Structure 1
Amino acid sequence: MHKLGLVGVRTSWRTIADGEFFCPECGGDRNYRRRTGKRRLALLGVPVLPRGEVGPVLECSSCGSHFGLDALDHPTTTRFSAMLRDAVHTIALAVLAAGGTSARPVREQAVSVVRSSGFTECTEEQLLSLLAALAADTGRLPGTYHDGRDGLDPCGTALAIELHEALEPLAPHLAPAGRESLLLQGARIALADGPYTGPEREVLTTVGGALSLDEADTERLLAAARTPS
């Protein structure tokens, strides 16, 4: 209670929900209580007059700090890791679908990239099965995409949608270096069997856009990936 002589304001809190969030104060995943409150003017510690409602707020169960509901927009560490794994997996599938899977170096690089993201038991067979399912849904086989001159999306509408759905929610929570790293991982898959093909470049351009990289940065990174380290 904030004391003003014998008079103060007291807040009575009520918990309406709970869950897990990333606490900005603790710097990690914590449980929270979603709470609303009512303020009352108190005389000698006894509430006597209503002074309006407070909240809702999120109260960290560890440090007790209060935050606005927008704190839930930041993914938990567990959720962030899952989003990152899914993003890498989606990029790998999109590049394979655009460039084809006939070259062993491409398949091996795709598996290596996906495993390093956290899918440690990923195999070539699993990726090829997913691509076959994708081809069955779209009626289009990997490596047979149009060049865009007829107005069709060279990387396939379904793939473009998948890329945006996987990458756009993640991009605001990644530092620029993290977003660039995702694009470069896709570029390394595409380059494993030689220079970019037209469809591969189109997919990677889509990846850059979904990651909020501007066209100049995307082109710079794709060029840099071609340069031996």
Structure 2
Amino acid sequence: MLIIWGLRVIYRMLGRGVFFCRRCGGDRDYRHRAGRRWITFFFIPLIPLMKTGEHVQCLTCKTRYVTEVLKLPTTVEMEAALATGMRAVVAVILRAGDPASPLARRRAIDAVIGAGDADYDETWLAADLDEPADIARPRIAALGAQLQVEAREWCLAEAIRIAMADGPLSGAERAAAEHLANLLGMTQAQAIGVIALTEQNV
């Protein structure tokens, strides 16, 4: 009688969703699985052995990743965070100066549209300015966490250009810019450099 013993890894599904696949370079569907090695008899799993760990597998390219990859934002989440964060930046800098200034408001609206919110207008700006100031902090911090150094500097420079749309930076606007730099994850030296360079070039 022929007896066939063997070893086999059997996977258990833990979840599905969408993540950013580095190999594909975009958002893709994934499956999250945990594996365990089994002793098989006639290809039937009988005796469980050690666990082989968890992984995330891209359903497009089949690449496997460690589960920490799920902590990274998807492209859609990054785009949403950019627009939401920029709206918060705009509200903070406008409140520090003259929120009624037509030039500053126009510049602010253009900045948010440039960040990806094509529908942003005076109505949305007014609503953002009416929100409590505390709401802006976590949104700006979340934006800064997703940006590279150069992008953080660009974001701060954009805020300064908004503040300077109707004249030189006031003391309150300068303090607000430094506060924004801190929320974005920039050092004080970086903030001073960006503020000075932007003032020279506006």
Note whether the superposition's TM-score is higher than 0.5: yes
Deviation at 1:46, TM superposition (A): 5.9
Q: Which has the higher helix share?
A: 2
Are 1:221 and 2:194 an aligned pair? Answer: yes
Contact 2:87 2:128 (C-alpha < 8 Å) held by counterparts: no
Aligned to 2:173: 200
Are 1:55 and 2:53 an aligned pair? Answer: yes
Structure 1: where are the runs of 5+ without partners?
A: 1-5, 135-157
Classify 1:106/1:163 alpha carbon distance in 2 versus 1 (closer, same or farther; 3 Å): same
User: Which amino acid letter does the alignment assign opposite residue 101 of structure 1?
Assistant: P
Contact 1:18 1:32 (C-alpha < 8 Å) held by counterparts: yes
Contact 2:89 2:140 (C-alpha < 8 Å) held by counterparts: no
**Alpha-carbon distance in 2 for matches of 1:44, 1:123:** 68
User: Which amino acid letter does the alignment assign opposite residue 35 of structure 2?
Assistant: G
Are 1:102 and 2:107 an aligned pair? Answer: no
Deviation at 1:42, TM superposition (A): 5.0
Structure 2: where are the runs of 5+ without partners?
A: none
Give the SS at the match of 1:205: helix
Give CA deviations for 1:155-187 in whole Å, capped at 9, x if unaligned: xxx52x434311223333322111111111111
Please give the root-mean-square deviation of Cα atoms over the aligned residues, in Å: 2.2
**Alpha-carbon distance in 2 for matches of 1:41, 1:56:** 19
Match of 2:143 among 157, 165, 170: 170
Give the SS at the match of 1:195: coil
**Alpha-carbon distance in 2 for matches of 1:120, 1:96:** 20
Give CA deviations for 1:21-56 in whole Å, capped at 9, x if unaligned: 011222210111111121124578664542212333
**Alpha-carbon distance in 1 for matches of 2:62, 2:68:** 17
Deviation at 1:100, TM superposition (A): 1.9
Count the aligned residue pairs. 199
**Alpha-carbon distance in 2 for matches of 1:171, 1:40:** 46
Give CA deviations for 1:127-171 in whole Å, capped at 9, x if unaligned: 12432x33xxxxxxxxxxxxxxxxxxxxxxx52x43431122333
Give the SS at the match of 1:13: strand
Aligned to 1:189: 162
**Alpha-carbon distance in 1 for matches of 2:168, 2:108:** 16
Map 1:134-173 onto structure 2 (within 5 A): 134=131, 158-159=132-133, 161-173=134-146
Classify 1:184/1:26 alpha carbon distance in 2 versus 1 (closer, same or farther; 3 Å): same
Give CA deviations for 1:58-78 in whole Å, capped at 9, x if unaligned: 121112222222111111101
Classify 1:222/1:7 alpha carbon distance in 2 versus 1 (closer, same or farther; 3 Å): farther
**Alpha-carbon distance in 1 for matches of 2:159, 2:7:** 57
Aligned to 1:76: 74
**Alpha-carbon distance in 1 for matches of 2:37, 2:150:** 46
